[in-house]
Amino acid sequence: MRFAAYIASRYLRSRGKSRLLSRVTVIAIVGITLGVTVLDLTLAIMNGLHDELRSTFVDNMPMITVLTSKPEGFRDLGDTMDRIGAVEGVTGVAPFVRQEVVITSRTVGTQAQHRAAVVWGIEPDLQETVTPLRRMLFPAERSLTVLRGEGDGTPGVVLGAELAAALYAGLGDTIVLTAPKGELSLDELEAESRRFVVGGFLETGLYDFDARFCYMPIDEARSFFGYPKDGALAVGVRVADMMTAPAVAQEIEKTLGPYDHHCNDWIDLNQNLFQWVRLEKVMMFLLLGLVILVAAFNIIGILTMMVGERRREIGILLAMGARRRQIQAIFLLDGLAVGAGGTVLGSILGWLGILYLEKVGIKLPGDVYFVDHVPVIAQTLDFVMVAGAALLITLGATLLPSIEASRLRPMEIIRYT
């Protein structure tokens, strides 16, 4: 192997008549470097987007939602919440009422604005143990006062920032919420409307949530939507480790009774979305891996040219007793050296690019994307997989020329050259 490595290193050096070969070698190294760099950066960005997406959903929605099969919802909330809170891994429990409504707003000199919305009736102090409510509200203290039902006069609500903008509703403005009432039938539809004052705004970072959500005190929601005084539609639960949510949900169902209660965890609710993200990551890996594959064709060309240029030397080596395996190893090592050089440089540039995105970052329009910057998370496994794939592709590219070189006949080469 030392003999093959020595000859391979000599063949890679640039000499008078092999300058073209050296230039092609540099081009191949640059191609592999670019492929590895782009692939490392892309996978890190995909990891960052996946993590941001997961964190955004977990921060804005309960990790586990406990529902009851009874149409009137939960009645004995105290006992239910105590039993849920006693389950291992549960760190927060909060009841809520949720109902779809139509919100109407009208300012002086403008047409009335109507928007469909989802109203959440919550207890803010309990909700804070399930989702980070306070940091999403502005102005925070005034919004919390409204959600606790401590205001005087007309009850207040907290509107999603985008919903408020669509309604042209500002702080202190009066809006009208309309919800269906009683039993629905095709012959007669009944609805109830109530006035509320805008007491604050909600900004979650997800446009769909900010454009549809409206929060109000849970007692007002119970009164408006016909729930009993201590009732709720569902109970939101937070767990210590988000990835254990499915197991905790099963335990809650066993505790409350699997036939009367059902638990939805955040993984089940967003399963299709996260499967799509994982599939997209695999597809990006395969597509961008084609860049490395194209660079590998340059290696085939390099080694084929090298075999043609070194035919006389190969014939002499074989005549002097060099084994065919050693001749094959020479060109395998040459190809792997090119691939390894490009892989190492690409990995270094990819890591530097990730550091740049972490420290400096690239801004994104927050009203278009659910993040305001390009998120990145570097994973060692991704770097290892990219480097391994690059080296495997390079090894495959070296096989044909190296086998061709090992099959040359020394006597014919020496006779005709």
pLDDT confidence band for 370 (50 / 70 / 90): low
User: Could you give the CA distance from residue 371 to residue 56 in angstroms, rounded to a whole number?
Assistant: 9
Q: How would residue 232 be classed by pLDDT, with cut points 50, 70 and 90?
A: very high
Picking from 59, 117, 122, the residue whose alpha carbon sits closest to that of residue 96 is 122
CA separation for the pair 266, 62 (Å, rounded): 7
Does 371 or 167 have the greater pLDDT score?
167
Say yes or no to pLDDT of 230 above 90. Answer: no
Q: How many CB atoms lie within 10 A of CB 389?
A: 19
pLDDT tens per residue, range 163-216: 999 999 999 899 999 998 766 666 667 788 999 999 999 988 778 888 999 999
Residues 116-139: pLDDT tens digits?
999 999 999 999 999 999 989 999
Query: What is residue 128's predicted lDDT score, i.e. its pLDDT?
Result: 93
**Quick one: 109 and 52 in the same domain?**
no
Render pLDDT for 245-275 as a digit per residue (tens, 0 to 9). 999 999 999 998 878 888 999 888 877 877 8
Q: How do residues 373-393 score in pLDDT, each as one tens digit?
A: 788 999 999 999 999 999 998
Domain shared by 239 and 93, yes or no: yes
Domain final residue pick, 202, 225, 259? 259
Per the prediction, the chain carries an average pLDDT of: 85
Q: Residue 220's closest CA among 171, 167, 158?
A: 158
Count of Cβ atoms closer than 10 Å to residue 310 Cβ: 21
Give 391's contacts (C-beta < 8 A, 6+ positions apart).
336, 339, 340, 343
Q: What sign results for the dihedral spanned by CA atoms 239, 244, 249, 252?
A: negative
Paired tokens of 359: 């420290």
- The answer on 280 and 245 residing in a single domain is no
Reported residue count of the chain is: 417
pLDDT (0 to 100) of residue 277:
76
Q: Between these two residues, 214 and 2, which has the higher pLDDT value?
A: 214
d(CA 229, CA 223): 8
Residues 169 and 247 in one domain: yes
Specify whether 250 is located in the same domain as 279.
no
Per-residue confidence (pLDDT) for residue 55, from 0 to 100: 78
Rounded Cα distance between 267 and 354, Å, is 28
pLDDT 10s digits, 136-167:
999 999 999 999 988 777 899 999 999 999 99
Q: Does the pLDDT at position 16 exceed 50? A: no
Instruction: Give the residue carrying structure tokens 């480790």.
Output: 241
One domain for residues 210 and 285: no
Coil vs helix vs strand at 20: helix
* Whether the bond into 124 is cis, omega within 30 of 0: no
DSSP, residue by residue, 327-377:
HHHHHHHHHHHHHHHHHHHHHHHHHHHHHHHHHT--B--TTTSSSSB----
Vertex 53, ends 50 and 56: CA angle to 5°? Answer: 145
Q: Residues of the chain with pLDDT > 90: what percent?
A: 39
Domain around 297: 2-57+273-416
Task: Examine residue 378 and state whether it is found in any structural domain, yes or no.
Answer: yes
Higher local confidence (pLDDT), 214 or 107: 214
Buried b (16+ CB within 10 A) or exposed e, 317-345: bbeeebeeebbbbbbbbbbbbbbbbbbbb
| Angle CA 159–164–167, to nearest 5 | 130
Q: Are 62 and 384 in contact (CB under 8 A)?
A: no
Tokens of 88: 């291992």
For residues 362 and 287, membership in a common domain is answered with yes
Indicate if 222 and 335 belong to the same structural domain.
Answer: no
Averaged pLDDT, 216-230: 91
* Span of 7-16, 67-76, 338-347 with lowest mean pLDDT: 7-16
Same domain flag for 212 and 293: no
- In 3D, which of 61, 131, 89 has the Cα closest to residue 251? 89
Predicted pLDDT at 200:
93
My answer on whether 45 and 193 are in the same domain is: no
Q: Are residues 9 and 33 in the same domain?
A: yes
Distance CA 91, CA 84 (A): 10
On the question of pLDDT at 107 being above 90, the answer is: no
pLDDT in tens, 39-51: 999 999 988 888 8
112-117: which pairs have CB atoms within 8 A and are 24 or more residues apart? Answer: 113/166, 113/167, 113/168, 115/163, 115/166, 115/167, 116/212, 117/160, 117/163, 117/212, 117/213, 117/214
- On the 0-12 / 13-18 / 19+ scale of CB atoms within 10 A, 184 is exposed
* Domain-located, residue 28: yes
* Phi, psi of 95, rounded to the nearest 5 degrees: -80, 155
Say yes or no to pLDDT of 59 above 90: no
> Residue 386's pLDDT is what?
92
Instruction: Report how many domains make up the chain.
Output: 2
Q: Is the pLDDT of residue 293 over 90?
A: no
